[in-house]
Amino acid sequence: IEMASSFVPSLGAVFQGIVENSSEYPIHQHNGLFPPTGSPTSDKFLSSLTVAMLILFFVMLRFSAGPFLHPSCGARIAASSYFYFNLCCSLLLWVASSTILTIIPHFSSHNNGMIAAALFFPMTFSSIAVLLFGRFAVRTFFYILVHSGFYLSKEKNYLSGANDRRRGMFKVKMPKMIAFQRPFRKLAKLAAIVSAGISLLHAHCWCQTLSVFKIKREDGAGAICRATFSLLASSSEGAEEKTIWFLWGTVMTVMILAFLHDELNGHHFGSEESFAFQLKGFKLVQKGPPDDSKIDDYLDYSSDDTESITEEPRQRFFSLRARNLDDVPQDTLPMVPWLSLFAAHSVIDMFLALKVFMGRVDARLMQPALEERNQLKPIPKIDKTKINDPAEIFTILQKKYPGCMYDYSSRKSAIDGGFWFDWMADCGDGFNSSYQVARLLAQQDITVEHNGVKKKLPRGDFLVLGGDLAYPEPNERSYEKRFFRTFEDAMAPPPSFRKSKIATNKLEICVKGWDKNKCFEEKESGDVSAVDMHPQYKGPSTFIVPGNHDWYDGLVTFTRFVLCRDFLGGWLMPQQRSYFAIKLVEGWWLFGLDCGLSSDIDIEQFKFFADVSENALRESDSVIIVNHEPHWVTDDDWGKDGDQRSERNISELMETYLRGKVRARFAGDLHHYTRHVPIKTVSKSKQRKRSRSLSPDRTSRKDWNQDESCRSERIEPFKEDNKPELIVSGGGGAFLHGTNGFAKDIKVGPKHLKYTRVAAYPNENVSTYLGWFIMYNFRWRGWRCDFLFASLYLGIVSSLIPLCGIYDDYEEFNPENEFWWLCVWLIKTVGTLCIRVFTSERFSLFCVLSFFFLTLALQSQEARVKPAQRFSLVFCHFFGHIFAALTCLVFIQCAAEWLVKDNIIILSSDTEKHPFTRSEGGLAGSLYDEYKEHFYPILKNFISWDPSPSPPVSLDAGFMTSVLMVIKSGIEIGRASLEFLFSHVPLLKTTLNIFDLPTVIAQNHQDMCSHLCANSVECFSSHDPMQFQSIKRELFVPYAAAFTLYFIFLAVPMAGSIFGTWLAVTLNIFKSHCDLAFSSLQIQHYKNFVKLHIKDDGELEIFAVGLRKVPTKWVKDHQYDRDSKNKKSALLDPSWSLNYPSKWIPKNPAKNQDPVIIDYTCIPKRRIKQY
């Protein structure tokens, strides 16, 4: 203590001398570029013009940072968006602050803002230096504590008496720690934020007339100024300016102490191994046998007992932190950013895979060939004259087509005696939407509501997935992260499930870890083992038809992860081919078709379904056909007819083998819900209702909750009258598609059967609103296109700079500054520049043509858009971008010449000086003058201080001697570093000149124009190439860099707005570009799926379930832990039998997140009229 008291006063004398000696440098009025008037209003921090400029600045900031500030944008949490956000904010702050500080003093009499800006830069550099040194000193101090054994003895008091023995027997194993300066960008940002806050405090409270910080209410001091400087005031007038450094030192001290606290509490360990070190304390490696058994017991951390962890506050903190990490989903993925370089990379990969490497190979032809090779003996043909038993026929077909046919005809629900199954498609996108749909499908039952009536819908015996399992391309990462992960969290697979396992025999079902008696039904013999265990399996299954995104690699990933895996979460995956036929109850069948990328089934599939239809189906049976793409909608949308139409093999199958038996068709691909029904052509008196429906658009229909039969509304039609209802349900998790971009009335098939849409979710009004929302929201969601827009816009104007004499041309054309003449002059100038681009500027012409072909490639392809309308949209879109780019160029060039002509910037006459070291005029010179007058004395005293010898310290003091000597040496190192940076290196001058973007543009613009326009040469409409090439690089490079910063912050938001407006117009007016428009929005709400119920009388009920909103924050369901772990037996109950099978639940549940019925229909079973 005596040693510390003798050393600390010497440090206090140092700071006291620095502050007291600064009084010899008088603080006087500013004598720089913008002298104040001396009026009382000069002390005001905010004038009306300043407020207006700050509002404009914050509007620009929010517009540029919108993708990350808007709560509905999930991509803001990604590392790339976080870096882009910091980059944009930093550059925008740079551009806006330099511009405001240049222009505001020209219109306002105060310069408190200039003084604050002059304080910001040296304080930021000092903050970074002090924080780096402080962190280094803390790390050194921590190592000394650890290796001396002092820290461990403090942690364990009852071992403090055995320090020497412990040091001799044990050595400390230090974990890997993060570097004290990491992450440096966070340290620099923290230093900048602190410096900016103190600088704003200085500007707000400084009084120029009194040369003190205001502390009196009558002087205009607010509550912040009085609370901050009242205790530091040296007189009744206020506090001296040097007290601002005292506040800064206090903040730095607190930050270093906070770093010390985190260091001693183990927050700075860098590896997973050291995380256990955080939870359990230091690990000691034994060097010899301990004498005390208590020490050995205490140092044993091999167990996972958490009771000892909660004994100490420090360890309890980390155990809570670990539980918090487990209580929220980790490593989740946001919605796929389709308009980005990432998606472009995926498109290139898919193109090469499809067109170069895959060629004409069709994986669907390989599947039956491989199955035939495994058959030991030929399957006999079916002779219906000899075989009449349907079960025997089904068994023969099942052996003939292994892995394709499944029998559910003997299963019925224990609730109502019917049979339930589910449908969902397009699920592999963002975690929030995909998991919410999977979670609802995993529940044993869900409660839905429509018009105030509630009904429980049970989980189906199997789930049919309609393709597009993972976006944007099929690979291992997208399948695992976007598809399997969501279903595994919704309903866990068996404990024996391994992701690397390849299922070679899907007839055997491995449920090791689950109670086998609860998973399988006992046969009559009492044995649950069989060759094919699927008929005895009680749990839910899933059947999947691949979509176009699953086919982009030739079905390779689909084959590996679907056809060769046993479980999708808690759903069994028994299928062995990409197509299948399922026999249901009451004479219903379900056919799953794989249309590949050819929009039709192949010949092998046709033979399979034709064989099943001819031999296994009875005359009165009904069929549900499911496939991925709704060609009945897309063919009408693209105007395909005749030989171009899709599904010609499917049409042949339906017209010959399934004539009149297809009662419903399901598809996905379009991420919304719609239902089309056939339009009757007979007279009204002969029309009879074919099905009972209920949808949001038709509220007059009877309620589906009433226990009524469809028989009273059903007719007994002929075969040709059994037209199927067409249902699109692709809301499993992918981005939303609006319904307003597709026709309501369509013509289907080769006979052009007329259908009309009777249900849509979301409806056309909501879809139209979301479509217009693109105008404003594209800039927020499509921020990944910024680089493309900035590159093309810069390329268009790169050959035109500088535009010498453009401001003189404007004043000559519009001397009265009238708005309409300004518009005329702008159009004339842009036209002149366009002519110049097409006649003399090669690189700009190349970029203009590139932009034109890009807009041409994005033209509408839908049949409903006429060619004249299509090309009109292309040219309007193209010229809108060209006009925006040239307008931004004209504005910046006019502003550069206006700054000089109105004497806002005083140019330097010495053009031979390096542009980064001159500071005679402009903003940089004014800021440097303010720094020299107000803040240089403090730094000069610190730099020139020669530390006096400290009192002699006894070396016997040991540990404290080392600590205090380190502090003293650190102060000397900091003083020497600041002296080097501020005296020998022009750090501040260089930084100020780089910061002064307006002066860089104005000065270099004037110098280049003086060179290009020498000898009175006209240089506005064209440049002499030889004169342009002779411009010095030190003039052009800083000018081009400063111009680029201003240009991109003006041009990129305009480009995004123009592109979004074009998308909104083409979508809502011309009903085109639905896919491109809605993929840019990445809307994760408005999801849907379908539950189907076959009643005991053979009627098919269809319940379309919609989700208005999906949760965006999740927490762990504690009921899930109790339900799955609190078991007396070693075997667990199957996850599908649990009341709470899902791992995560919404953190903030809301009413609009509840499932609701969006459509209902009841389809009667097909019946043949008897003659």
- Summarised one tens digit per residue, pLDDT across range 186-231 is 778 788 888 888 888 888 888 877 888 888 888 778 788 888 888 8
Scanning 528-623, the segments in alpha helix (DSSP H) are 556-558, 603-615
Q: Is 1128 helix (H, G, I), strand (E, B) or coil?
A: coil
pLDDT reading at 52 higher than 70? no
Return the pLDDT at 316.
30
What's the mean per-residue pLDDT of the chain? 75
pLDDT reading at 1171 higher than 80? no
The stretch 548-577 carries a mean pLDDT of 90
User: Band of the pLDDT at 574, cuts 50, 70, 90?
Assistant: very high
- Burial class of residue 1029 (count of CB atoms within 10 Å of its CB; 0-12, 13-18, 19+): exposed
Q: Give the number of other Cβ atoms within 10 Å of residue 572's Cβ.
A: 25
Place of tokens 């007719």: 715
The stretch 1042-1060 carries a mean pLDDT of 90
- DSSP-assigned letter for residue 756: E
Return the pLDDT at 370.
55
User: Band of the pLDDT at 703, cuts 50, 70, 90?
Assistant: very low
- Higher-confidence residue of 1111 and 22: namely 1111
pLDDT reading at 882 higher than 90? yes
Return the pLDDT at 982.
60
Return the pLDDT at 921.
62
Q: How far is CA 296 from the centre of its chain?
A: 50
- Burial class of residue 57 (count of CB atoms within 10 Å of its CB; 0-12, 13-18, 19+): middle
Range scoring the smallest mean pLDDT among 934-943, 1028-1037, 1070-1079 = 934-943
The stretch 1028-1044 carries a mean pLDDT of 85
What type of residue is 653? L
H or E element that contains 753: strand 753-761
The stretch 400-404 carries a mean pLDDT of 86
CA distances from 462 to 156, 509, 541, 1133 (A): 59, 16, 5, 19
Q: Which of 45-49, 345-349, 645-649 has the highest mean pLDDT?
A: 645-649
Return the pLDDT at 346.
57
Q: By C-alpha distance, which of 367, 470, 363, 461 is closest to 406? A: 461
Q: Is 544 helix (H, G, I), strand (E, B) or coil?
A: strand
Q: By C-alpha distance, which of 443, 475, 654, 472 is closest to 554? A: 475
Q: What angle do CA 815, 816, 822 make, to 5 degrees?
A: 80
Q: Give the number of other Cβ atoms within 10 Å of residue 514's Cβ.
A: 22
Query: Is 730 within 8 Å of 671 (Cβ atoms)?
Result: yes
Reading the block at residue 1100, the tokens are 């098919």
Q: By C-alpha distance, which of 180, 189, 201 is closest to 128? A: 189
Q: What is the pLDDT of residues 1136-1167, one digit of tens each?
A: 888 899 999 999 888 889 999 999 999 987 76
CA quadruple 797, 800, 805, 810: dihedral positive or negative? negative
Q: By C-alpha distance, which of 409, 397, 406 is closest to 588? A: 409
User: Band of the pLDDT at 695, cuts 50, 70, 90?
Assistant: very low
Q: What is the pLDDT of residues 597-640, one digit of tens each?
A: 888 998 989 999 999 998 889 888 999 999 999 999 988 888 78
The stretch 238-243 carries a mean pLDDT of 85
Return the pLDDT at 671.
93
Query: Is 280 within 8 Å of 309 (Cβ atoms)?
Result: yes
Place of tokens 């401001």: 807
Q: Give the number of other Cβ atoms within 10 Å of residue 971's Cβ.
A: 17
Return the pLDDT at 540.
93
Q: The sheet that has 405-407: what strands, in order across it?
A: 405-407, 580-583, 588-592, 622-626, 662-667, 725-729, 673-678, 753-761, 745-748
What lies within 8 Å, CB to CB, of 259 at 6+ separation is: 134, 135, 138
Range scoring the smallest mean pLDDT among 88-97, 709-718, 1024-1033, 1132-1141 = 709-718
Residues shown for the chain? 1171
CA distances from 301 to 160, 281, 289 (A): 20, 9, 17
Compute, in degrees rounded to 10, the torsion defined by CA atoms 944, 949, 950, 951.
Answer: -160
Return the pLDDT at 884.
93
What type of residue is 617? L
Q: By C-alpha distance, which of 1084, 378, 1089, 415 is closest to 727? A: 1089
Reading the block at residue 1133, the tokens are 């109950």
Phi and psi based region of residue 383 (left: phi greater than 0; alpha: psi -120 to 50; beta: remaining): beta
Query: Is 735 within 8 Å of 1031 (Cβ atoms)?
Result: no
Q: What angle do CA 651, 656, 660 make, to 5 degrees?
A: 85
Distance linking the first and last C-alpha atoms of the chain: 114
Q: Is 269 helix (H, G, I), strand (E, B) or coil?
A: strand
What type of residue is 253? T
The stretch 891-905 carries a mean pLDDT of 85
CA distance 764 to 102: 51
Q: What is the pLDDT of residues 973-993, one digit of tens each?
A: 666 666 666 665 577 888 888
Reading the block at residue 1118, the tokens are 């504690």
φ, ψ of residue 349 in degrees (nearest 5): -60, -45
The stretch 722-735 carries a mean pLDDT of 91
Q: By C-alpha distance, which of 1103, 1110, 1084 is closest to 1158? A: 1103
Q: How many Cα atoms within 13 Å fall on the side-chain side of residue 245?
A: 22
DSSP letters spanning 373-430: HH-SSPPPPP-TTT---HHHHHHHHHHHSTTTEEE-TT---TTTSSEEEEEE----S-
CA distance 212 to 210: 5
Query: Is 663 within 8 Å of 725 (Cβ atoms)?
Result: yes
CA distance 996 to 988: 12
- Is beta strand 753-761 parallel, antiparallel or unpaired with respect to 745-748? antiparallel
User: Band of the pLDDT at 804, cuts 50, 70, 90?
Assistant: confident
CA distance 671 to 761: 10
pLDDT reading at 23 higher than 50? no
What is the tally of helices (H) and strands (E) in the chain? 40, 27
CA distance 748 to 755: 7
Place of tokens 């997208």: 478
The stretch 477-494 carries a mean pLDDT of 92
φ, ψ of residue 286 in degrees (nearest 5): -75, 135
Q: What is the pLDDT of residues 133-159, one digit of tens each?
A: 888 888 888 777 777 665 554 444 333
Q: By C-alpha distance, which of 599, 730, 626, 737 is closest to 668? A: 730
Burial 863-896, CB ≥16 within 10 A → b, else e: ebbeeeebeebbeebbebbbbbbbbbbbebbbbb
The stretch 789-812 carries a mean pLDDT of 88
